Structure 1
Amino acid sequence: MKRMKPALKAHPNMPKKIAALVTAALLVVSTPAVGGIAGGVAAAAESQQLNVTSQPYNINGVLSNVPSANVEGNTYIGIRVLNETLGLGTSWDPKTRSVTVTGRDRTFVASPDDGSYTLNGQVIYGNPAIIENDTAYLPLRFVLERMGYGISYDHGSKTVGIDTIQENALSIETSTINKVTQEQSLIIHYPVISGYENAESQTKVNDFLKKEAEAYAVTGQQALSQAQKDVSELEDANPDLAMPPLSFEGTYTITYNEDNRLSLYVDYYTYLGGAHGMTERVSYTFDLKTGEQLSLREAANNHENYLNIINASIREQIKERKLLLLNPFEGIASDRPFYLKHGAVVISFGQYEYTAYAEGMPEFLTSFLAFSE
């Protein structure tokens, strides 16, 4: 039986989209270019009606006001601003109807029509780009954190802060394990670093990440094969049923590349039939001087009360964000998976661990400063 592939793939790693965003993306059609941004913009703009205002920013210590929009709690910024204030390269391709942002050894491509993104050739997931009045707007934090910038917000002055992060001198490319058929797909991306001053530790990190990706590929293929048998039996018993293709997908995110440390996570998304897939987040933090992984205690500056500090921070953030928990937060263990972001240790909740599926995988940041006393 021929399988039916959904026109727009949903993904649990993708933050919740407003219905209007999806509608706008689907309304944008391929017509001749107008004013540098492709036609069909009017339909998207009329559907969206973004409220663009002048937002105060502190960009590397320089105060300025930048046209921005707030969409369901997410700040969106026009691509022209990225060029004018940060010196990033920005362009619009009317043929592919895509926005490209380049700089800091990265190429970030956004396709507003279908809400997709790629970073250095890897598909990543986030709130879709929006076109309004011949200008493409991108989700600020989602884009700039991946381009090597730190993002902050001062509630008192209502000012967004953007700081250029001083990253380790190395390059990161994407390697891919790809096994795709009409009925199922297995695609795992993993990073490969080059150019780091310590070639021995660089090799150690690369070999480890490659072996990890290959091991998950084996496990994923086994799960897909078993699920394929189950789905085939179900379709044979129900001739009118057409299931979407099964999939196992690994997408990595570099979260920290500073001070001779490299931190990242890989989201392994599995769809084996049913209402939706599930995602497992696997994180790694390396000391690039040795090529070894760091423990949570080491990442927390070996502070003797690091667990109490992190647990207190998580409880406070749960309260501030008014998160509804499926069960009480009892605290994390010493071997809890973690990753780093600019200035902070991050703990994320797994799907259904404490929150509903719709919440995704909430992140809780504890500042490095909390472990300095």
Structure 2
Amino acid sequence: MNTNKKRNKLIVTAIMTALLVSPMAYSVSEGHAVAATSVSKYKVNTQPFSIEGKKSSIGTINKNGSTYIALRNLNTALGLTTNFNKAIQLVSVSGNGRSLEVNLVNNAINLNGQPVIGPQVILQDNTTYLPLRFLLERMGYVISYQNSTKEVSIQGIKENDLQVKAEEIGADGDGKSLLVYYPVIKGYGNEKVQHKINTFLKQETDKRIMAGSKEMDAVVKANNQLLAKNPKAAVRLPSFDGRFTVTYNENGKLSLYVDYYLYMGGAHGITARIPYTFDLTTGDLISLKDAAGNADYVSIINSQIQKQISSRNLDMYIPFKTIEADRDYYLSHDGIVVYFTEYEYTSYSEGMPQFVIPYSKFK
């Protein structure tokens, strides 16, 4: 499988994950959500909803600009299946080829076999509340808010008939730690294409792991030398972790990215984001030029990035001029996403600024 050479440089960072707003909930018995927020009682307000076009009013909680809602009120309309395992304090939500689990003891969240960072749950009146946007956007829905009607709209996304599950590669020992989750396509009708993509992604994962392990070996060697001189010396073990995010699974295309985080014992680790967008007809990677479908795609993207930099008041320590013709990107439901790597143009506090270029801009 051919692929353009990318600027896969590693950038100094610590993983900063923004918590999405707009939540939800599941009825549970009293006293089982140790990790849940247990502050003064929140007011429950009646919120108008449009769920798959069906109008309804549902009681919600607002916390710091986030909307929380009881999951039980959405089960029938959305076709999601929910369950609470009292013995192990686990809430599970499944549907649309996905499975999400929330451990109410430690607030650990797992999506399709892979840990994800998420917000803290809220326990009130024997109900555990979770962010609506955080959950439903990961379950294949689009959520929007109409200012004129104050209505929350929830609509399912028509996706390709396949699932993306997580497989794990982990190893601890020899003075270092490794834990990588990589994507595996399952259930796709074209088995040849499925095998082609899965083989490619596994090869990519193995290549990244090999490179990360090699980087860690230098730190392990230095640590061993220090411990040989002083067995009581405090050393920091290096680690290498990988997590993936599926961003688009529509119209015969699949787009995702993998964040590889390499910690070498310093104040911060090093993160490399590697995106992939596949044509599900052939199993080939799609270039940015082909994804845009417009010969002037570079200038269109440059213009949109400049406008968004200005509107968002991004503090740039290096002026942005242009993207490369083969710039890394991924797809989302709303458009083509181009991003700056950490420290490429902005400070650490900005993370990885992302710029969504609506598909309509390329028409």
> Could you say which TM-score interval applies, normalised by the shorter chain?
0.7 to 0.9
Equivalent residue pairs, number: 345
Counterpart check, 1:315 vs 2:299: no
> Unaligned stretches of 5+ in structure 1?
1-10, 18-34
Q: 2:342 aligns with which of 325, 338, 351?
A: 351
Distance 1:336 1:42, change over 3 A: closer
Counterpart check, 1:186 vs 2:178: yes
8 Å Cα contact 1:53-1:67 kept in structure 2: yes
Which has more helix, going by share of residues?
A: 1
Which protein, 1 or 2, shows the higher relative CO under an 8 Å CA cutoff with sep ≥ 6? 2
Distance 1:143 1:47, change over 3 A: same
Distance 1:138 1:314, change over 3 A: farther
Distance 1:233 1:196, change over 3 A: same
Q: Secondary structure at the match of 2:106?
A: coil
Identity %: 41
Matches of 2:44 and 2:312 in 1, distance apart?
A: 25
8 Å Cα contact 1:57-1:65 kept in structure 2: yes
8 Å Cα contact 2:32-2:89 kept in structure 1: no
Look up the equivalent residue of 1:99 and give its one-letter code: V
Matches of 2:66 and 2:307 in 1, distance apart?
A: 21
Name 1:229's counterpart in structure 2: 221
Name 1:246's counterpart in structure 2: 238
Matches of 1:265 and 1:242 in 2, distance apart?
A: 35
Written as runs of structure 1 = structure 2, the 5 A alignment for 1:172-321 is 172-181=164-173, 183-233=175-225, 242-243=234-235, 245-300=237-292, 302-321=293-312
- C-alpha displacement of 1:190: 1.5
Aligned-pair Cα RMSD in Å:
2.9
Matches of 1:135 and 1:102 in 2, distance apart?
A: 19
Name 2:9's counterpart in structure 1: none
Matches of 1:160 and 1:244 in 2, distance apart?
A: 47
Deviation sequence 1:187-226 (CA, Å, 0-9, x none):
2211221332322222211111010001011011112222
8 Å Cα contact 2:253-2:279 kept in structure 1: yes
Written as runs of structure 1 = structure 2, the 5 A alignment for 1:1-373 is 12-15=15-18, 36-39=28-31, 41=33, 44-47=36-39, 50=42, 52-181=44-173, 183-233=175-225, 242-243=234-235, 245-300=237-292, 302-372=293-363
Look up the equivalent residue of 1:352 and give its one-letter code: Y
Matches of 2:35 and 2:170 in 1, distance apart?
A: 37
8 Å Cα contact 1:193-1:202 kept in structure 2: yes
Q: Secondary structure at the match of 2:50?
A: strand
Which stretches of structure 1, 4 residues or longer, exceed 6 Å deviation after superposition? 236-240
Q: Secondary structure at the match of 2:310?
A: helix
> Unaligned stretches of 5+ in structure 2?
1-13, 21-26
